[in-house]
């Protein structure tokens, strides 16, 4: 079974631009979560989507948004990029079978550099 895939793997943008990152979950997985990883703040939860609805949200400004499609693929968008948005963005998918524990499987990440 293929793992979580993220595209693109690397991205360079300039301040003020916007960017869209894509995540394809493991086949059959219905929950997709996004995390930001920076040297200063570490790993921080952005948001989680399930059945095309945002189910959980972290403490990020409204410039960060996301969506999920009917095939469970997810995109996240960052508008009006700032230098501090430079980070590794990780996507994780899980089955969400209804039990209390569902393992999250992480993709390789998208490295965003804002100049």
Residue 98 C-beta: closest distance to other proteins, Å? 7
Binding test (CB under 8 A) with other proteins, winner from 17, 56, 71, 113? 56
43 vs 115, which CB is nearer to other proteins? 43
The 22-51 contact track toward other proteins, x by CB under 8 A, reads: ---------x-x-x------xxxx--x---
90's enclosing H/E stretch is strand 87-94
Give the count of residues interacting with other proteins (CB under 8 A).
29
Judge whether 1 and 60 are in contact, CB under 8 Å: no
Residue 4 vs 114, nearer CB to other proteins: 4
As a three-state string, the secondary structure of 80-115 is CCCHHHCEEEEEEEECCCCCCCCCCEECCCEEEEEC
Q: How far is the CB of 16 from other proteins (least distance, A)?
A: 27
Q: Is 19 in the site for other proteins (CB under 8 A)?
A: no
Q: Is 74 left (phi over 0), alpha (psi -120 to 50) or beta?
A: beta
């Amino acid at each position: 079974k293929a793992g979580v895939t993220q595209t693109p793997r690397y991205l360079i943008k300039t301040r003020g631009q916007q960017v869209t990152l894509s995540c394809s979950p493991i086949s059959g997985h219905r929950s997709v979560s996004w995390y930001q990883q920076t040297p200063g703040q570490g790993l921080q939860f952005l948001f989680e989507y399930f059945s095309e609805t945002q189910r959980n949200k972290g403490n990020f400004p409204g410039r960060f948004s996301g969506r999920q499609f009917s095939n469970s693929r997810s995109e996240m968008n960052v508008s009006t990029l700032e230098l501090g948005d430079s980070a590794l963005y990780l996507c994780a998918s899980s089955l969400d079978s209804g039990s209390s524990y569902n393992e999250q499987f992480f993709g390789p990440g998208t490295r965003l550099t804002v100049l």
